[in-house]
Structure 1
């Protein structure tokens, strides 16, 4: 009620404009649901019996700005008093059963419009300015019980728009709801219908799921219904594996636990890069599993294979290149810490760890710590102490050497001057050699760096 009162001045004023012209206006869908949950934001959805061209005439002069990007679907957007508003004409769309794009058909009744919506909790409406509550499909009861069910049959709903199956999993993640049994049954029977949806839309919905408060449960629903086999097959493939320590969890359960533990370390809100890395860090294990005689199971180089698979899957989902690069790198690096052992790494190894991680180092710290899921308290404490030790050494070396900007002790100009060469491949090779030397030995004084460069040039046959 507090949320509804907060938006009442704008909503009621807009409703009065429509009423004066003889039209109905209702706050609808996710806006009503979120208001009842006490989480309404500044994006408001309305539905009306007015046609789009009539809506444009009514809001002209009242709205601070207007956009028409969705007008072919009956939607007019506007901004007013800090609120972003979308007004959509009653719809009673027809679907061809082959795509998710309907033949847009305007309806004449509120109930008809609500019937076509994805879930009953999104099929409630409040009239403005009258504040009459309409709930023909018992959405309020389902909201109180945290249940997701469809206004009509789930089979018809998902046949009309298969993306609604992913939306069900997303609402499980975002809102902590659980799907009605008939919804789960329909998702399972119709999982193949998701192939009608473009990769871009699938990827966008999956991101919303992963960024929710309960992504573990949303992902579990995708796996249990077979939807993950179609859109993220690397996840259900982990169910048949065992982790390298032969613990009680298989790799699938281990992965979901790592995701939970990574989320627990987020300090500044949801981190998509970290969450995706946690989800994908072990996807290389099925392809690298080997049964070793007398030594259990091994997954050698699964981090290398996993990084390639992560790139392939995220590209297929049309994720941004920078995100793909970061997730793949975290997947590739997540196992390196386990070579640290009892702190026997040289300063050179620590420098390489930091340099290879670059700006991803804070996320790598979180991922590695989250990757410890053993129930053995002694082993868990030992792993955490070992990583504490590594972080302390990183801090010590960073304080002395500025690890954030590890570069050769000679720049390109100095290399060209000393070797007497123009810009080109030789300068690049020399620069790479000096950087490796810097990582191996730490900062060098000018004389030592120059001597090392000249020796390298002699060894390469560049000078006599």
Structure 2
């Protein structure tokens, strides 16, 4: 490692009083302590960008055993926790800084699960050799000398944007298949390009991902999607075969284009929609960013197309009701990946609604149809706007401009109606208590039916005054119960 870089890393460590004190405490007790892994990598990256800073959460490795580490921390750390102590890790917090301190490891894996047979290591280099990638296998001593250790060329790889494993990639991934998904994430997060050995190992060992719990897959996939530019990472995810194992609906979009080229490459289209949705999300000062729900919906909105593709006369291709099928597939897959229920339902609803706008034509929708569009979208309306706009990937500039102008028109109508009617909170003109009083009925299913009728009426005709709403309710009640009002 060049002397200038070593000096930069030393200075970064000295920026953190907690690290300086921690190193002193371990040294006084006769132990080594080193800042290691992603902490060093990110410190080097921040130094290279001219924004030198020590990451907030710090990973430390030491030759001290866990019980010895706890003794070093006693009376200094504001809190410690032992949830990872079976794997040699002690957690601590010092003046708001979180630390994970792990004893040197030389683990062995049974290669049937991700759980290692924990074995204490005897040296720093031995510990670094078991890490996932070279860019995470660098360390800087917290002792007085601040020695930088980089036995596998991690800094060089970081500088040339290369992703390699410290040892043979097949051995690394056999030990822990989750590392293959981490490789995908690092392509997006760090802009790294995996070397041929890494890609070959991922491709040949993709099936090993079946050993990983859905929750861990979900976490890595989400981290990838939440990066600024995830497209190259997702292409690696699909091309390597990893997606076939954990998200098969995505590679299924690579349908063979028919001989007449009557439809787009749906896979490539979906990646472009994702890129455009991210751009719109970032441009909206009022939007959550990064937005996992929007990004999942952008990526998966067309997953119903393979199952609904039909070859029509004159070489045409149709995908009738792919939004309905797609919503069901999204719900099933995201549930299997253990996404929270609110995320699953939001992505499924956006998938179901993403085609609704195309019925708008040249603005022929009635006010009732506009109200239903807003009401069906609910609190997802802002995301639906972005998804629909992103779904236009035509290269025909005239058509793209026309679609954008048409959606502008719809948003303007929504704004006008919202100002007049508060569409975000459409409710019947009579509440449940009024319904029960007017109809003389107790709480129950009939009240719900009446409430639904009045809400549909509100969407169809807009706000009614109480007298008109009551008259409509009484007429509906008579029809429902087979009463002839003219008798």
TM category, shorter: over 0.9
Is 1:313 matched up with 2:321? no
- 1:204-238 per-position Cα deviation (integer Å, ceiling 9, x unaligned): 11111111222111111010010100000000000
Q: Does 1:219 align with 2:234?
A: yes
- For 1:186 and 1:247, locate their aligned partners in 2 and report how far apart those are by CA, in whole Å: 37
Does residue 21 (structure 1) correspond to residue 33 (structure 2)? The answer is no
After superposition, residues 76-225 of structure 1 pair within 5 angstroms as 76-129=90-143, 130-225=145-240
Q: 1:416 to 1:8 in 2, by over 3 A?
A: closer
Check if 1:288 corresponds to 2:308.
yes
| Cα separation, 1, equivalents of 2:439 and 2:261 | 56
Name 2:416's counterpart in structure 1. Answer: 396
CA–CA distance in 2 between the matches of 1:219 and 1:418? 58
Does 1:257 pair with 2:272? yes
Could you tell me whether the CA contact under 8 Å between 1:78 and 1:84 is conserved in 2? yes
CA distance, structure 1, for counterparts of residue 315 and residue 160 of structure 2: 49
Residue 314 of structure 2: SS of its match in structure 1? coil
Report the CA distance between 1:337 and its aligned residue.
0.3
Residue 36 (structure 1) aligned with residue 49 (structure 2): no
Alignment of 1:291-306 (within 5 A): 291-294=311-314, 296-306=316-326
| Cα contact 1:176–1:213 (8 A) shared by 2 | no
Out of 1, 12, 30, the residue aligned to residue 4 of structure 1 is 12
1:408 is aligned to: 428
**Does residue 377 of structure 1 match 2:412?**
no
Structure 1 unmatched runs, 5+: none
2:441 counterpart of 1:421: yes
Q: Which residue of 2 aligns with 1:451?
A: 471
1:129-173 Cα deviation digits (max 9, x unpaired): 321110000000000011110000000000000000000001111
Q: Secondary structure, in 3 states, of the residue corresponding to 1:11?
A: helix
Return the alpha-carbon distance in structure 2 between the equivalents of residues 368 and 246 of structure 1: 23
CA contact (8 A) 1:241 1:252 kept: no
Q: Once the 2 structures are TM-superposed, how far is the Cα of residue 242 of structure 1 from its aligned partner?
A: 4.9
In 2, are the aligned partners of 1:246 and 1:297 still within 8 Å (CA)? no
Q: Which residue of 1 aligns with 2:285?
A: none
Root mean square deviation of aligned Cα: 1.5
Deviation per CA, 1:381-403: give whole Å up to 9, x if none: 00000000000000000000010
Q: Which runs of 5+ in 2 are unaligned?
A: 1-7, 47-52, 283-287
Q: Output one character per residue of 1:44-65: Cα deviation in whole Å (capped at 9) or x when no partner.
A: 0010000000000001111121
**What TM-score does the superposition give when structure 1 sets the normalisation length?**
0.97
- Paired residue secondary structure (1:264): helix
Q: Secondary structure at the match of 1:77?
A: strand
Counterpart-to-counterpart distance in 2, 1:242 and 1:426: 52
The verdict on how the C-alpha distance between 1:295 and 1:448 changes in structure 2, with shifts beyond 3 A counting, is: farther
Mark the CA change 1:295 to 1:385 in structure 2 (over 3 Å): closer, same or farther: farther
Q: Check 1:113–1:403 CA distance in 2 against 1; reply closer, same or farther (3 A cut).
A: same
**Residue aligning to 1:228:** 243
Report the Cα offset of residue 246 of structure 1. Answer: 4.9
Aligned to 1:364: 384
With over 3 angstroms needed to count, the CA separation of the structure-2 counterparts of 1:55 and 1:462, relative to structure 1, is farther
Change (3 A) 1:396 1:242: farther
Per-residue deviation, 1:82 = 2.5
> After the TM superposition, which residues 332-343 of structure 1 pair with which residues of structure 2 at under 5 Å, given as runs?
332-343=352-363
SS at match of 1:4: helix
> Do 1:357 and 1:364's aligned partners in 2 also have CA atoms closer than 8 Å?
yes
Given candidates 75, 79, 95, the residue that maps to 2:89 is 75
Q: How many pairs does the alignment contain?
A: 463
Please report the TM-score for the alignment, with normalisation by the length of structure 2: 0.93
SS at match of 2:86: helix
Task: State the shift of 1:15 in Å.
Answer: 0.6
- How far apart are 1:80 and its partner, in Å? 1.3
